[in-house]
Amino acid sequence: MKRISSFIVRSLIAGVLVVVPLYLAILLLLKAMASVVGLVRPLAALLPDWMPAENLLALGLVLLLCFLVGAVVRTRKGRAMRERVETSLFDRIPGYAVLRNLTLQLVGQGQESVWKPAFIEIEDALVPGFIIEQLEDGRLTVFVPSVPTPLAGAVYVLSPERVHPLDVPFTQAIKPISRWGSGCGELLATIRT
């Protein structure tokens, strides 16, 4: 039963991560085509009336633009420019970097050093959480999520003795948080000594 529910949850998350960006991309494509129709209208008037020339030319122009941007981004200078835009613009949007890192980790492409699962000592208890970063003085910034909402919680700066890293992937560590603590026993067995 546990395997079935795990399969259902993982399939649902994987489907959402595919369908939502695809849906948004199609909406943006249609919006871009609507913006370009005015530019291609004179050229479309030269083609036969039975052909949906405005739409085809607008689609072709948008796809050509996407191709050119994609070709530029694949170059060394293009990657540097994309990273500059991302850090100067998108990283200023509250929560963008966090959601980008979480999404990458959920699909298995994230950096393992970001949001590293751990048990955190808070007063006399161990609570599931994540190591966010290590500070220059050796202390750790940790995030302790609220149950059952893993994206809300509290941030602490603690000494390393109070933080116990786990040898599990991010997706496995987040499950007990969304299940009101069920499964924490399995996580406790993975504490690194």
- Does domain 116-188 sit in CATH 1.10.10? no
pLDDT digit string, tens, across residues 166-175: 877 766 676 6
Average pLDDT score, the chain = 78
Of 151, 158, 148, the C-alpha closest to 126 is 158
* % of the chain with per-residue pLDDT over 70: 79
Mean pLDDT of 55-68: 87
Q: Assess whether pLDDT exceeds 80 at residue 155.
A: yes
CB atoms within 10 A of CB 54: 18
The confidence score (pLDDT) of residue 50 equals: 82
Mean pLDDT of 176-184: 72
pLDDT digit string, tens, across residues 97-141: 666 666 665 555 555 556 788 888 888 878 888 888 888 898 888
Mapped onto helix, strand or coil, the DSSP state of residue 147 is coil
Of 56, 55, 82, the C-alpha closest to 69 is 82
In angstroms, the CA 47 to CA 106 distance is 48
Mean pLDDT of 23-50: 82
The confidence score (pLDDT) of residue 193 equals: 59
In Å, how far are 89, 103, 173 from 97, measured between CA atoms?
Answer: 11, 10, 20
The confidence score (pLDDT) of residue 150 equals: 67
The domain ranges of the chain are 2-92, 116-188
- List the single range of 7-11, 29-33, 118-122, 186-190 with lowest mean pLDDT: 186-190
Supply 181's token pair.
Answer: 């603590």
CB atoms within 10 A of CB 172: 16
The confidence score (pLDDT) of residue 184 equals: 72
